[in-house]
């Protein structure tokens, strides 16, 4: 079987790697898996996702008060 991302042949350890929550096989080589894991934990937070108050035209962050 081959990696879904880069098409390299998977070794036995990579073939047996499963998702923890749903027990589906991941089918990624070690390199692609590590990049995927870093990408899932490295995301930007948009300030518009939070309630930010304005105080006299100045943005006031609720967690810095």
CA angle 36, 21, 19 (to 5 degrees): 40
**Cα gap 22→3, rounded to integer Å:** 19
pLDDT for residue 15:
93
Section 33-50 average pLDDT: 70
Q: Would you tell me how many other CB atoms lie within 10 Å of the CB of residue 5? A: 14
pLDDT higher at 42 or 22: 22
Burial 9-45 (b: 16+ CB within 10 A, else e): ebeeebeeeeeeeeeeebbbbeebbeeeeeeeeeeee
Q: Report the DSSP beta bridge partners of residue 9.
A: 2
């Amino acid at each position: 079987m081959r990696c879904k991302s880069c098409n390299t042949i998977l070794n036995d350890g990579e073939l047996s790697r499963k998702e923890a929550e749903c027990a589906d096989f991941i089918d990624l080589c070690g390199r692609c898996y590590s990049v995927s894991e870093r990408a899932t934990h490295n995301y930007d937070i948009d300030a518009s996702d939070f309630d930010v108050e304005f105080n006299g035209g100045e943005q006031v962050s609720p967690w810095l008060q």
